[in-house]
Chain A
Amino acid sequence: MALFEAQNLRKRFGARVVLENISLSIEDGTVHGIMGPNGAGKTTCFHVLTGHHAPDAGRITFAGRDITGKKPHQIARMGISRSFQIMNLFDDTVVIENVILALPEFRSSGLNPIRDVFGNTALIDRALAVLDQVGLAHRAWEKAAALPYGERRALEIAVALAPEPRIVFLDEPTSGLGTDATRALADLIRDLRNRYTICLIEHDMRFLFDLADRISVIHWGQVIDENTPANLRANKWVARSALGEVA
């Protein structure tokens, strides 16, 4: 059985068709890609999958439980984490604080961040372990704003991993990254795939084709194709495209 499943999701904003009959199935331990042209409905799809918008129709299940219509915080507590296309970091704090704030141990105890965080070695060790997963442990005590863009993206992923989710949704993680930073991010995701199920929206098709086990192509708010990268690449129009030239 799939770890995460969406069936026949529909969403309208007024008269505008945003999602029409979206179905997705994400197997445990895989990287599932979502791609599509601008305005295809990818981010709205993420918002619906992670509870930020309720669907008008359809059903979402996670580990066999119906999570349709649940609030983002309820969904997050079940083990579903996400990042956003626009960065959401606390720039004025140090790197490790960003992670500590996302740790369930911190959130559940209602600690006062100013007074308690730096005296709690257990929290610090836990946050350092998370930062280590994304290769940022050595930057733990630097200001978040001082990190280069690629490392800020990695920090966002660390924040998403801090609650120990089973599945992580990443919205355009390569957005704004140069070639080297994109390559480093691909290595990071390849490393994380052994521990988490990952679903990522990506514009960079080469990045996605190299990483994903399966890809859903979204357009007009629908899944217009769903297959392995190899099978998608076999399409004659893909072969004619810029992507085909490097395949």
Chain B
Amino acid sequence: MLDVTNLEKVYTKSRFDRTPTFRLTADFTVENPGIVGMMGPNGSGKTTLFELITGSNAPTAGEVTVAGRNIHKVRTDQRDRLAIHYHQSYQVRHFRSFKPNALMEPAGSDYPVLHLFDEPQFNTQDGYIGFMLDFFRRLRDQGRLVFLCVHPNERFHLEIVEEICESFIFVNKGSVTPLPDYAAMLAHEPARAYLGDLLTERAA
């Protein structure tokens, strides 16, 4: 469903000074519908990875293929028919595309195959969590792939992650590590360091 192949995004100091300031690299494949949790410290590249997967941000090298189509070759106005990014409200970045849509491919899909949720607000006060989790499951059962970017800062956030996510991707300083399940995520040292006190509190 999703092939991220030798993907690289390099940010440089300026157009003239090409000294890299940030480098994100990723290479992974997701074969089947499912719910993938994405975690990592602030500034590690999670949102940039989402932007590369949905095609709004162009890679320096490599490819993202969604349902067999290279997302960066699909018409810009149809890319969200393949992969849709639900932004944090204050974090929509706009990128320019120089190639005219007429020279690009159609999406060939009417409803997104990939749904990427960027830090949905989980709040135990209002009860929406239950509806949100059921929605993620329904998307998966309809054959979609759901990415859930979460930034756990409460213990119940980990409960949610454990309940809903079937596999994980941990992003740390621009490096992307796929992990097959919750136990593997907890065994991954950078993830343990990131979750820190939440794990101890939970154990207590």
Interface residues of A (CB under 8 A from B): 14-17, 20-21, 36-37, 39, 205, 217, 219-220, 222, 224-225, 232, 235-244
Contacts and interface: CB of A to CB of B under 8 A. Distances in A.
A237 B94 contact: no
Given A15-B56, A224-B132, A235-B131, A241 B117 contact: no
Nearest to B115: A220
B124 interface: yes
A97 B178 CA distance: 66
A244 B56 contact: no
B130 A237 contact: yes
9 shortest interchain CB distances as A-B pairs: A237-B130, A241-B127, A235-B130, A238-B127, A224-B135, A237-B129, A225-B131, A217-B131, A220-B86
Contacts of A222: 135
Contacts of B128: 36-37, 217, 219, 237
B135 A225 contact: yes
Contacts of B89: 39
B84 interface: yes
Interface string B79-119: 01000101101001010000000000000000110000100
A222 B115 CA distance: 12
A243 B131 contact: no
A14 B128 CA distance: 27
B154 interface: no
17 contacts: A15-B56, A17-B80, A219-B131, A220-B117, A224-B131, A225-B134, A235-B131, A235-B134, A237-B127, A237-B128, A237-B129, A238-B127, A238-B131, A240-B124, A241-B129, A242-B125, A243-B126
A178 B135 CA distance: 33
Contacts of B130: 235-238
A219 B129 contact: no
Contacts of A20: 84, 112
B81 to A, nearest CB: 10
A237 B126 CA distance: 9
A12 to B, nearest CB: 8
Nearest to A222: B135
A166 B86 CA distance: 36
State the majority secondary structure of interface residues on A. Answer: mixed
B121 interface: yes
B125 A241 contact: yes
Contacts of A242: 125-127
A37 B111 contact: no
Contacts of B84: 17, 20
A219 B56 contact: no
A224 B139 CA distance: 10
Contacts of B92: 15-16
Nearest to B136: A224
B95 to A, nearest CB: 9
Contacts of A220: 86, 117
A20 B84 CA distance: 10
Nearest to B160: A237
Contact of B127 (A15, A21, A205, A219): A205
Interface string B35-59: 0000000000000000000001000
Contacts of B127: 205, 235, 237-244
A21 B87 CA distance: 17
A44 B2 CA distance: 32
A16 B91 CA distance: 11
B187 interface: no
Residue among B94, B125, B130, B135 having the largest count of chain A Cβ atoms under 10 Å: B130
Contacts of B186: none
A209 to B, nearest CB: 10
Nearest to B133: A237
A54 B128 CA distance: 28
Contacts of A225: 131, 134-135
Contact of B124 (A37, A39, A219, A237): A237
Contacts of A39: 89
Contacts of B111: 21
A19 to B, nearest CB: 12
Contacts of B126: 37, 205, 241-243
